[in-house]
Amino acid sequence: MSQAAREKYARKHEGEDLRRAFDRLDVDGDKRIGFKDLAETFKKLGHKVKKLDIEDMIWEVDEDCDKAVSWREFEQMFHRVRSDATGYEPRRLFNVVEFMMNDKDESGSVSMEEAMNILYMRNGKDLLDEQVKEIFGEVDIDEDKQLTLTEFLTSLQEQQVREFRSKGPYKPPPPGKNAPKAAAK
């Protein structure tokens, strides 16, 4: 499959997977993801999380300050994080969404096969082995390893910390043409 064909296929299915993840997180069906929705999802998946952490996940994405995440905010968050090269974009809700998108059979765990499918479509064959190793660790490809939400989030967090540390200290981008210039003294 060519890169262009893979990207087209991935975009189409990613949109479907993203909508499915939103609908799954919207437990009460009110077209918004609020505290109760996330708390119920985490409880169902056996993931222990503090009340403040759930509130922060929503706050990081909630642009209109209504203490819930609309479809528009959800979609924008997803694409913002996916295109973030700095690593500074908040990723806590994004990581939960990644789990939900990978858990296609809604079993409450992500199999290596489910994850490999999405990783291949996004990044191609060249990065597949490296990314599977990052998420699942050293496992035999024939092994049917499953990750719970807690294991999945821990793995992604460890991977993101390694990436963040490997970049060294933050260096802001150089000012562009439209950047304000310092006032002369």
Q: Is residue 128 part of a domain?
A: yes
Determine how many CB atoms are found less than 10 A away from the CB of residue 18.
18
Give a yes or no: residue 17 inside a domain: yes
Q: Is residue 175 part of a domain?
A: no
CA atoms of 28 and 111, how far apart (whole Å): 27
The answer to whether residue 81 sits within a structural domain is yes
Q: What does the block give as tokens for 26?
A: 């919207």
Residue whose structure tokens are 């059979």: 105
Q: How many CA atoms lie within 13 A of 74 on its CB side?
A: 23
pLDDT in the model for residue 105: 87
pLDDT at 33 over 70: yes
Lowest mean pLDDT segment, chosen from 43-52, 83-92, 165-174 = 165-174
Write down the pLDDT at residue 185.
45
Residue 183 lies in a domain: no
Residue 181 lies in a domain: no
Whole-angstrom distance, CA of residue 61 vs CA of residue 145: 32
Residue 108 neighbours by CB distance under 10 Å: 14
Q: How many helices (H) and strands (E) does the chain have?
A: 8, 4
The encoded tokens of residue 182 equal 């310092």
Q: Give a yes or no: residue 100 inside a domain.
A: yes
- In the chain, the number of structural domains is 1
CATH number for the domain harbouring residue 33: 1.10.238.10
Tell me which H or E stretch contains 22: helix 3-25
Please classify residue 143 by burial: count the beta carbons closer than 10 Å to its beta carbon, then call 0-12 exposed, 13-18 middle and 19+ buried. exposed
Predicted confidence (pLDDT) per residue in 76-131, tens digit: 999 998 888 777 889 899 999 989 998 888 999 987 777 766 666 555 666 666 76
**pLDDT at res. 152:** 81
- Contact (CB, 8 A) for 24 and 17: no
Domain of 147 in residue numbering reads as 3-165
Total-model pTM = 0.74
User: Residue 41 domain-assigned?
Assistant: yes
The conformation of residue 182, written as its DSSP 8-state character, comes to: P
